[in-house]
């Protein structure tokens, strides 16, 4: 597949107005995407768990304009209220996808969006938000194209392709449970353009894996991920880092199949710390972890050592800590969180999530 395959040729149907609603999940990367080339092409492949509870629900209302105009025409409502400050991001998204969705300027849109998780939780909503909107746009395209829109695979691929142009990691938020994005020589079907369902064996243990997100810092982060990605250009360790991501994906093939949790833990934690090491060694350098992030990491290591429970952490581009563990340890680990980790969370808050099946049309 190339970009050209996503440029539609003709639409057979005329649609005056309508609405569609999609609910799309967030995802948490195990091998991290950090660094990109032109057009949201990742500098290295990544793999993520799709989450089940942290979701964005987006309703798209569309009404055909009497005359096609030369601008994108949309209103944006977040949790029921008009939200002007989200508009530039959507405007930019529309500009990036126009070539692939040439009908956008023919419609007036109202976009109603809300998250299942608190807005100021430090959880990025761009992955679930962009994928939900991309899916709504694909539903409109499907109606316009009717029989032309090949099949479900094409629908999901193009939705992922569009979401990627909104926010890179959003392309991993269309399907479940394990999604790979970025060309890798030993992963057939892998692509820089969209995420694919991980094509190899996945041990049952991973299909119900838990992710408890400890909200260490709910504020806006000081450095955005687009700035961070850009700092990988000319980064002294970039080449080694990108090679390491390829090799970690190689190693995970065996681990996903066998369910070897010790090896899983060592790759996942190394990936999280490497991501932050890249931030700390870029120019300019920056630190997104907070003292409580480190307190929690140390507590996890002690708990794992003393109880032999297979729990590990991963981090996004922020201070919050994702605790990953098999479902069978849920009770024991929630007890550990309440007794020892809640104290390090802002207002004692955390969110229980788990691996999920992907986006749903409502
Ligand atoms: O999708 P972006 O551009 O916000 O980048 C996200 C990057 C990380 O969350 C840090 C890693 C990843 O692979 O999700």
Asked whether residue 45 is assigned to any structural domain, the reply reads yes
The predicted pLDDT at position 221 comes to 72
Asked whether residue 41 is assigned to any structural domain, the reply reads yes
The pLDDT-based confidence of 273 (bands split at 50, 70, 90) is very high
Confidence check: pLDDT of 228 > 60: yes
Dist CA 186 CA 264 (whole Å): 19
Confidence check: pLDDT of 146 > 90: no
Burial class (CB in 10 A: 0-12, 13-18, 19+), 89: middle
How far, in Å, is the centroid of ligand 1 from the Cα of 132? 17
The pairs formed by 16-19 with CB atoms below 8 angstroms and a separation of 24 or more are: 16/63, 16/64, 17/61, 17/62, 17/63, 17/64, 18/61, 18/62, 18/140, 18/143, 19/59, 19/60, 19/61, 19/62
Whether residues 90 and 79 share a domain: the answer is yes
Whether residues 254 and 178 share a domain: the answer is no
Confidence check: pLDDT of 120 > 80: no
Whether residues 345 and 208 share a domain: the answer is yes
Asked whether residue 68 is assigned to any structural domain, the reply reads yes
How far, in Å, is the centroid of ligand 1 from the Cα of 156? 20
Contact by Cβ (8 Å): 148, 12 = yes
How far, in Å, is the centroid of ligand 1 from the Cα of 232? 13
Whether residues 136 and 283 share a domain: the answer is no
How much is the average pLDDT of 350-355?
Answer: 96
Whether residues 152 and 209 share a domain: the answer is no
Whether residues 234 and 331 share a domain: the answer is yes
Q: 300-326: string of b/e by CB count within 10 Å (b at 16+)?
A: beebbeeeebbbbbbbbbbbbbbbbbb
Confidence check: pLDDT of 231 > 90: yes
The predicted pLDDT at position 147 comes to 61
Q: DSSP letter for 341, please.
A: I
Tell which atom from ligand 1 comes closest to the C-alpha of 275: 10
Mutate to test the pocket of ligand 1, among 50, 124, 130, 168 (most ligand atoms within 8 A of CB): 168
The predicted pLDDT at position 223 comes to 86
Domain boundary among 201, 233, 257: 201
How far, in Å, is the centroid of ligand 1 from the Cα of 218? 17
Dist CA 230 CA 224 (whole Å): 10
**What residue ranges line ligand 1, CB within 6 angstroms?**
29, 32-34, 46, 124, 126, 167-169, 225, 229, 275, 316-317
The predicted pLDDT at position 222 comes to 79
Confidence check: pLDDT of 148 > 60: no
How far, in Å, is the centroid of ligand 1 from the Cα of 194? 14
How far, in Å, is the centroid of ligand 1 from the Cα of 154? 24
Q: What is the maximal distance between C-alpha atoms in the chain?
A: 69
The pLDDT-based confidence of 149 (bands split at 50, 70, 90) is low
Token output for 122: 């430090």
Which residue's C-alpha comes closest to atom 9 of ligand 1? 316
User: Average pLDDT, whole number, for the chain?
Assistant: 95
Asked whether residue 20 is assigned to any structural domain, the reply reads yes
Q: DSSP letter for 324, please.
A: E
Tens digits of per-residue pLDDT, 154-185? 999 999 999 999 999 999 999 999 999 999 99
CATH of the domain at 192: 3.30.230.10
Whether residues 171 and 274 share a domain: the answer is no
Whether residues 29 and 150 share a domain: the answer is yes
How much is the average pLDDT of 13-35?
Answer: 96
How much is the average pLDDT of 146-150?
Answer: 61
The predicted pLDDT at position 125 comes to 78
Contact by Cβ (8 Å): 178, 202 = yes
Domain boundary among 201, 221, 236: 201
Q: Count up the domains in the chain and report the number.
A: 2
Pick from 85-89, 239-243, 265-269: least confident: 85-89
Four-point Cα dihedral 74, 76, 80, 81, nearest 10: -110
3-state DSSP call for residue 93? helix
CATH of the domain at 214: 3.30.70.890
Backbone angles phi, psi at 162, to 5 degrees: -70, -45
Asked whether residue 361 is assigned to any structural domain, the reply reads no
Q: DSSP letter for 272, please.
A: H
The predicted pLDDT at position 218 comes to 80
Mutate to test the pocket of ligand 1, among 26, 34, 242, 273 (most ligand atoms within 8 A of CB): 34
Which residue's C-alpha comes closest to atom 4 of ligand 1? 225
Which percentage of the chain shows pLDDT scores above 90? 88
Confidence check: pLDDT of 150 > 70: no
How much is the average pLDDT of 142-148?
Answer: 78
Dist CA 348 CA 174 (whole Å): 31
The predicted pLDDT at position 66 comes to 92
How far, in Å, is the centroid of ligand 1 from the Cα of 35? 9
Token pair 């450095």: residue: 223
How much is the average pLDDT of 284-288?
Answer: 96
Tell which atom from ligand 1 comes closest to the C-alpha of 317: 10
Tell which atom from ligand 1 comes closest to the C-alpha of 40: 3
Confidence check: pLDDT of 322 > 60: yes
Report in angstroms the alpha-carbon separations of 88 from 43, 91, 95, 145, 166: 26, 5, 10, 28, 11
Q: Would you give the distance in Å from CA 187 to the centre of its chain?
A: 20
Whether residues 208 and 191 share a domain: the answer is no
How much is the average pLDDT of 117-145?
Answer: 88
Which percentage of the chain shows pLDDT scores above 70? 97
Tell which atom from ligand 1 comes closest to the C-alpha of 167: 1
Confidence check: pLDDT of 122 > 80: no
Confidence check: pLDDT of 42 > 60: yes
The predicted pLDDT at position 12 comes to 80
Asked whether residue 359 is assigned to any structural domain, the reply reads no
DSSP string, 50-74: EEEEEEEEEEEEEEE-SS--SS-EE
How far, in Å, is the centroid of ligand 1 from the Cα of 208? 23
Report in angstroms the alpha-carbon separations of 317 from 137, 144, 282, 304: 28, 38, 14, 24
Whether residues 117 and 156 share a domain: the answer is yes
Domain containing 77 equals: 3-201
Asked whether residue 11 is assigned to any structural domain, the reply reads yes
How far, in Å, is the centroid of ligand 1 from the Cα of 21? 25
Tell which atom from ligand 1 comes closest to the C-alpha of 169: 1
Strand partners, 10: none
Token output for 329: 């340890």
The predicted pLDDT at position 219 comes to 75
The pLDDT-based confidence of 151 (bands split at 50, 70, 90) is confident
Tens digits of per-residue pLDDT, 84-111? 988 999 999 999 999 999 999 999 999 9
Whether residues 225 and 181 share a domain: the answer is no
Strand partners, 95: none
The predicted pLDDT at position 30 comes to 98
Whether residues 246 and 211 share a domain: the answer is yes
Asked whether residue 362 is assigned to any structural domain, the reply reads no
Domain boundary among 162, 180, 201: 201
């Amino acid at each position: 597949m190339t970009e050209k395959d996503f440029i539609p040729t003709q639409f057979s149907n005329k649609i005056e107005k309508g609405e569609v609603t999609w609910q799309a999940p967030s995802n948490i990367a195990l091998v991290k995407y950090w660094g990109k080339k032109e057009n949201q092409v990742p500098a290295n492949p990544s793999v993520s768990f799709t989450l089940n509870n942290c979701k964005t629900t987006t309703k798209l209302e569309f009404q055909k304009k009497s005359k096609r105009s030369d601008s994108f025409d949309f209103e944006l409502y977040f949790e029921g209220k008009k939200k002007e400050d989200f508009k530039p991001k959507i405007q930019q998204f529309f500009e990036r996808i126009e070539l692939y969705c040439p009908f956008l300027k023919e419609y007036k849109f109202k976009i109603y969006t809300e998250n299942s998780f608190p807005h100021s939780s430090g959880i990025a909503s761009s992955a679930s938000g962009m994928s939900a909107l991309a899916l709504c746009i694909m539903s409109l395209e499907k109606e316009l194209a009717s029989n032309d829109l090949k099949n479900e695979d094409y629908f999901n691929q193009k939705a992922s392709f569009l979401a990627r142009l909104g926010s890179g990691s959003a392309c991993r938020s269309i399907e479940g449970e394990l999604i790979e994005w970025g060309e890798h020589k030993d992963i057939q079907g892998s692509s820089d353009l969209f995420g694919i369902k991980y094509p190899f064996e996945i041990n049952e243990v991973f299909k119900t894996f838990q992710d408890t997100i400890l909200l260490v810092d709910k504020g806006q982060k000081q450095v955005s991920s687009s700035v961070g990605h850009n700092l990988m250009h000319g980064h002294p360790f970039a080449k080694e880092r990108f090679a390491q991501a390829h090799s970690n994906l190689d190693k995970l093939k065996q681990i996903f199949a066998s369910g070897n949790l010790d090896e899983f833990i060592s790759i996942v934690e190394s990936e999280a710390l490497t991501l932050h090491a890249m931030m700390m060694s870029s120019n300019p350098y920056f630190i997104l972890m907070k003292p409580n992030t480190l307190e929690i990491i140390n507590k996890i290591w002690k708990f794992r050592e003393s109880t032999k429970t297979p729990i590990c952490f991963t981090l996004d581009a922020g201070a919050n800590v994702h605790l990953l563990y098999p479902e069978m340890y849920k009770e024991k680990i929630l007890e550990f969180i309440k007794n020892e980790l809640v104290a390090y969370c802002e207002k004692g808050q955390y969110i229980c999530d788990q691996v999920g099946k992907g986006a749903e049309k409502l």
